[in-house]
Structures are given as C-alpha cells and as structure tokens.
Structure 1
Amino acid sequence: MLTRISSVDHVESKEVAFSSTFQIGDSSIINAFSRALAVQREAEIFFGDEGNFPSYPVFKKPLPLPIIDEPMNMVRHNLSPIIKVNNISLNAVAFSSVLHIGNSKHISLEVRIKHIRQLLPERH
C-alpha cells in the first residue's frame, strides 16, 4: 500500500447516505453497493407489486468489468510524504460513492437505479 500521509484541516458534509462511505484513514478494501427504485406518478395509484427488485432486469444483469492486461511502467517521485488539504466542503455523499481521506488498495462501487414514470392516459 502507499506510504504517503493525508492531512486535512477541516471537512464538512451535510449528508452521507445510501450505501456511501466517509472514510478517514487508510483502507485495504472498500465495497459499496446500492440499488433503488425511483417511481414518479401523476396519480396515487398503487398496484401492489412495486418494490420487487428481481423483477427488473437492470438488477439482475452482471456488470461488465474491463480486463486490463496491458503492461504499465510507472516512476513516482514524491517530494513530500504528506498530501495537505486545507478544507473540503460538499453537500452530500450518496448512492455508493466514497469520500476517502487516506490510502486505498482496492475500491469497488456499484449503484443501480430503475426510474419509472407512471403517467395518466391523455384525455382528448
């Protein structure tokens, strides 16, 4: 793992939600997973089968991960062992995202959202 030190004087976040991570310090593995149904309706009509995640293909399909097999050479010259930040200010960390201050070895993030709009039939 990397050996640099992260230093932040002040962090302000109004909200951390929905399978998100606010990590201070080094980590070996961060896994975040979130799934959501977003239903927008013109009228309050409920069919009774809402919220059944397995019935939507978007939640079943495997995610294609690219295979990285190309050779890579890297030379790093860190003049200072400290990464210094004065201030971090943000509104929200949400939906399987990460605010991480420190070093990480492996990070895997996933969010799947099914948006549904239910509109009333047009009247002519």
Structure 2
Amino acid sequence: MPVRSSVVDNIHLTTLLFSSVFNIGDVENIASRANVLVVQHTKQFFFLDEYPFLSFPIFSEPLHFQLGEPGHSVQTFHVNPVIHVGNLSIIGTSASAVIQIGSLVNGVFDSRVKHIRHIENIENVKNMETKNLMPKDV
C-alpha cells in the first residue's frame, strides 16, 4: 500500500456511535460490526430480558460477502502523495459506519438491526392523545 499523508483543515463531527470508526490516515484493515435490538412500546413499561438477543436469527446468520478475485492486483501511482480535505462537517454516524480519510486496503462492515414496535389499538392511542395521556417521548 502506498503511504500518503492526510491533511484535514477543519472537522466538525457531532456524534459517533455504535461501532463506528473515524480514521485519518492510511490503514490496512478495518472491521466494524454492530448488532442492535430496538424495542418500542406505546406505553412506558419494559421487562428485563423481554426479548433474548440471541433468539433472533438475524444476529447469528453468517456474514455473506465476496472478496476480490485472487490473482488480481491493482497498482496505483499518486502524483500528489497528500490527501487534503478543507472543511468536513458530519452530523453523525451509527451502526458500523466508517469515515475514512486516507487509503483502506481491507474493510469488513456488518450492521444488523432488529426493530420491534408494540403499538396499541389505534383508537386507544387516539383517545390517549385526546386526553393528553400519551407519554412525552412516544
């Protein structure tokens, strides 16, 4: 891998979450993985271990990806060995995202999200809204 310098004048990054990577400079390998289980209720009640994480097949299925064909190689020549970034403004990244300024040889990224919503009968919800009984964060 040819070595290059990475220069960044200004970065504003608000949020970096859940197995995300922020890297300036060349890197050989990045592996980023996030398994997320989200449960929402219309009412504010939760039970510990209500949903066992490993009971969902999405989190135990093998990662399917295809590597480049063996025997093929790429050669590059950079006239300017400097990567220059002026201003970079990012609101946020989440769930295995990568922000990379520089070269990356190998990257494996896996983000799996299971989102469960328990919504009551819509008429009950409308009645709660009318009577101002809905929780503020629903």
TM-score range normalised by the length of the shorter chain = 0.7 to 0.9
Q: Percent same amino acid among aligned pairs? A: 32
Structure possessing the higher radius of gyration over alpha carbons: 2
Structure 1 residues 83 and 24: CA distance shift in structure 2, 3 A:
closer
Bigger helix fraction: 2
TM score, norm. by length of structure 1: 0.81
- Partner residue in 2 for 1:40: 40
Structure 1 residues 9 and 95: CA distance shift in structure 2, 3 A:
same
Paired letter, 1:19 = S
- Partner residue in 2 for 1:16: 16
The structure showing larger relative contact order (alpha-carbon pairs under 8 Å, at least 6 residues apart) is: 1
Dislocated runs of 4+, deviation >6 Å: none
1:1-124 alignment runs, 5 A limit: 1-69=1-69, 74=74, 76-121=76-121
Q: Deviations over 1:27-73 (max 9, x none)?
A: 22211111111112122343543352110011011121125438757
Aligned length: 124
5+ residue gaps, structure 1, are none
Query: More displaced, 72-81 or 39-48?
Result: 72-81
RMSD over aligned CA atoms reads 2.5
5+ residue gaps, structure 2, are 125-138
